[in-house]
Amino acid sequence: MSQSDRYSTDDGKRKREIHDEKEIIAKSQKMHKSPAKSQQNEEKLDQILNLLQNLTLEVNQIRAEQREFQTELIELKAENEIIIKENANLKKRLRRNEKKLRNTNTRLEQLEREKRRNNVVITGLKIDNNKPEN
């Protein structure tokens, strides 16, 4: 090829020959990865695996703790139910005792009123307790 074929008149740049491009592609395909990068990749994979193992252990520990908390929660719920029932029974007893107290207070007031009525003393009359009444 002549030098005039290599340059285009349109843009003033050099044209590449077709067989040159094929050679470049062929060379680039033959190149392999550098060993340093693969070693870095393996180190990164090892780090990721270690992190994954650590995370798996942590998740298993959290699950074990959750199971413990679950059983403790069930026990607390059962205790709470017992306390609620005891509280309801105590409230019933309290209402009964309050009702008895009100009844006792009203009866006491009635008895005090009767006692005052029976203890009325009229002045000016003599009371003789020794004489039988006919």
pTM (2 d.p.) = 0.45
Locus of tokens 């062929």: 26
Give the integer Cα–Cα distance in Å for 117 and 46.
Answer: 104
Q: Report the distance separating Cα 55 and Cα 59, nearest Å.
A: 6
Query: How many Cβ atoms sit within 10 Å of the Cβ of residue 7?
Result: 13
Q: Mean pLDDT of all residues in the chain?
A: 80
Banded model confidence at residue 10, pLDDT cuts 50, 70, 90: low
Q: Which two tokens stand for residue 40?
A: 């870095």
Q: pLDDT band at residue 37, thresholds of 50, 70 and 90?
A: low
CA distance 107 to 104: 5
- pLDDT tens digits, residue range 70-113? 999 999 999 999 999 999 999 999 999 999 999 999 999 999 98
